[in-house]
Amino acid sequence: MPAPSPSAQPASAAPASEQPLFHLAFPVSDLAKARAFYGDLLGCPEGRSAADWVDFDFYGHQIVAHLAPGEVGARAVSEVDGDAVPVRHFGVILTLAQWRALAARLTQAGQRFIIEPHIRFEGEVGEQATMFLLDPCGNALEFKAFADRSQIFAH
């Protein structure tokens, strides 16, 4: 059997400087509201933009808000550990210190949560801090953290 090609290696095998970066394009109904939420509230630096889209640096990854009002909103939910989790969502895994700081900043700013900051699967494999919120266009975001990052893919 031939040896696997370098591209077949898991992403985690690459040095940090060569780790793949995530790109996500998502719909928004208002670019000014997206800029206020992602840029001002979350602190994501803005990249390139045009009349109908804007790039943001989302914790080192590229997300692109595209003006598409008919496509926005979280509709379906799935039951996870007693919470109604929006099926369509995106987010980032932070360190626990970053997660706590973000939860405090969002709470101070009066941000409404659809799932309040809490610990999920407490005392179990995969224990994690999590919170869910909607951006002003109705897109669901999850921010989570693991005290033990080796638990991210544990089962």
Listed in order, strand segments (DSSP E) in the chain are 23-28, 46-50, 53-58, 61-67, 77-80, 83-86, 89-94, 113-120, 128-134, 140-145
Q: 49 forms bridges with which residues in the sheet?
A: 54
Say how many C-beta atoms besides its own lie within 10 A of residue 70's C-beta: 7
Going from N- to C-terminal start, the domains of the chain cover: 6-11+18-151
pLDDT at 11 over 60: no
Strand-pair partners of 144:
93, 130
Please name the CATH architecture into which domain 6-11+18-151 falls: Roll (3.10)
- In what side-by-side order are the strands of the sheet with 53-58? 23-28, 61-67, 53-58, 46-50
With a cut of 50, say whether residue 59 has pLDDT above it: yes
Helix (H, G, I), strand (E, B) or coil at 44: coil
Q: How are beta strands 140-145 and 61-67 bridged, if at all?
A: unpaired
pTM of the full predicted structure? 0.84
**pLDDT above 70 (res 113):** yes
Q: Do 63 and 56 touch, CB atoms closer than 8 A?
A: yes
Average pLDDT over residues 44-71: 96
Average pLDDT, the chain: 89
Residue with tokens 């996500």: 24
